[in-house]
Amino acid sequence: MTTHNRQHTTRNTRAALLVASVITGALLLTGCTPDKPAPSHTATATKTATPTPTPTSVAAPKSEDEAVTAASKTVQEFIDISNKVSLEGGKDPDRMSAVAIDPALAGQIQSANAIAQNGYVITGGNALTVLSGYAGDLTQGADTIKFGSVNLEGCFDSSGRTVKTKDGQTAPQPPNPKTKREINVIYSPSDDRWMVRTFIKSDTTC
């Protein structure tokens, strides 16, 4: 009986570690600039969650500095909402659609569903510091938006967050809690706001 309990605990710890590695940030995501609106998603969690404020509409950027500043602000909103979803047990991850499109949105929903389905308890939160950024033109169909695509490099810090299984086991932190992220944020003229499109993990520490 003692051996069975140890094995059960080991399985729980390994499962928590696996989910911790997934939800430390978005999944390894790549993709091309979308010409069509991102498809809708159905989230697994159904319990009531904290409402997410509707992002304020903003005009298309007039300079590279303006674009990088706006995109950096959007990434911080992306991190804030992601933290809220995790702290609330993965509830209503579709609220990430206020600041993200696929493939970044799909990765966030998958991570949130893993939290909800397995009953993981999250405390604390992730943080991100933008290290650098630059803007280029965004082409969507026949339209070109000057400075409409921003590439950012950020330092993602998961050291302030812990993951526990529903039986109270704490998952080990990743060996390198501070790693870089390559982020693409685009301006959506149909929504009059910026959206995180990709959020790609790097093995480089920061």
Report domain extents, the chain. Answer: 2-29+58-205
Residue 51 is predicted with a pLDDT of 59
Phi, psi of 39 (to 5 degrees): -70, 155
Mean pLDDT of 44-73: 78
Mean pLDDT of 9-33: 40
| pLDDT above 70 (res 101) | yes
Mean pLDDT of 96-120: 96
Of 29-33, 58-62, 78-82, 84-88, where does mean pLDDT reach its minimum? 29-33
Mean pLDDT of 168-187: 93
66 vs 43: CA distance, rounded Å: 34
| pLDDT above 80 (res 7) | no
92 vs 48: CA distance, rounded Å: 8
| pLDDT above 90 (res 186) | yes
pLDDT grade, residue 141 (50/70/90)?
confident
Other CB atoms within 10 A of residue 192 CB: 13
Considering the four listed CATH numbers 3.40.50, 3.30.310, 3.10.450, 2.60.40, the one that applies to the domain covering 2-29+58-205 is: 3.10.450
What pTM was computed for the model?
0.76
Q: For residue 177, give the nearest of 151, 197, 201, 196 by alpha carbon.
A: 201
Residue 1 is predicted with a pLDDT of 40
Question: For the chain, what is the mean pLDDT?
Answer: 81
pLDDT grade, residue 88 (50/70/90)?
very high
Other CB atoms within 10 A of residue 169 CB: 17
Could you give the percent of the chain with pLDDT greater than 70? 73
Residue 171 is predicted with a pLDDT of 83
Q: For residue 73, give the nearest of 61, 90, 86, 87 by alpha carbon.
A: 61
Residue with more model confidence, 14 or 147: 147
pLDDT grade, residue 173 (50/70/90)?
confident
